[in-house]
Amino acid sequence: MTNRTAFVTGASRGIGLACARALASAGAKVVLAARDASKLEAASKEIPNSTWVELDLASSDSIKAAFAKAGKIDILVNNAAITKDGLALRMKKDDWDAVIATNLTGAFLAIQQVLQGMMKERWGRIINISSIVGETGNPGQANYVASKAGLIGLTKSLAQEMASRNITVNAVAPGFIDTDMTAVLSDDLKANLLAHIPLKRLGKPEDIAAAVKFLASEEASYITGHVLDVNGGMYM
């Protein structure tokens, strides 16, 4: 990936940070993007040949400004996501809107910022981080699930639109990964989850990063419109 620049959203921690490290290790120049400037700065210091930009995916102005600052992007990893869980019956419209705005609309607007440059170069990799629940559903997460399922549909449509320009568009659907987002789960809930995972462990952020690195590589040039499940066998 020498001479390629990768832009990773939600890169200050968890899966995003692991993806940034993996792409940098493969030779890419990496731009880390997230809302927390202090965490970004600390993360960027430990990743060679990386820079960072502040990015709020709920704001189209912030998205435009971040990509203008980042310059030409060859690889885009749409990883940033938020949750605002609750049963559909009582879910506030604001909680629905916030999750869709960041997880789905924000990802789409980020893609729009890089497409022209990729089309001009006739090379590009777009990798959307979906979720196992985008394929299976999950009670209490109608907004999050809809956003992650939406990313899968977006991936497949864009893959068809962009294939003639040698731009691949794929998704990675993580299962339950050991991150801040799953750290809040109770021991009972974790035990129940593990009972449904054939590999009997939560995934690591590095498991997702390895899949992203592969899909961003030359070796994956004949793969597009695909959803790569990285879930320990929990959903097949």
How would CATH label the architecture of 5-224?
Answer: 3-Layer(aba) Sandwich (3.40)
DSSP bridge pairs for 26: none
CB 75 within 8 A of CB 7: yes
Question: Catalytic residue numbers?
Answer: 144
Which two tokens mark 233? 């066998």
Per-residue pLDDT, 183: 82
In terms of Cα–Cα distance, which of 129, 132, 140 is closest to 193? 132
Per-residue pLDDT, 180: 81
**CA gap 53, 124 in Å, rounded:** 21
Per-residue pLDDT of the chain (236 residues; tens, 9 = 90+): 889 999 999 999 999 999 999 999 999 999 999 999 999 999 999 999 999 999 999 999 999 999 999 999 999 999 999 999 999 999 999 999 999 999 999 999 999 999 999 999 999 999 999 999 999 999 999 999 999 999 999 999 999 999 999 999 999 999 999 988 788 888 998 899 999 999 999 999 999 999 999 999 999 999 999 999 999 999 99
What 3-state DSSP class applies to 72?
Answer: coil
pTM more than 0.85: yes
Q: What residue ranges do the domains of the chain occupy?
A: 5-224
Q: What is the DSSP letter of 233?
A: T
Per-residue pLDDT, 182: 81
**CA gap 185, 163 in Å, rounded:** 40
Which two tokens mark 104? 């789905």
**CA gap 31, 8 in Å, rounded:** 6
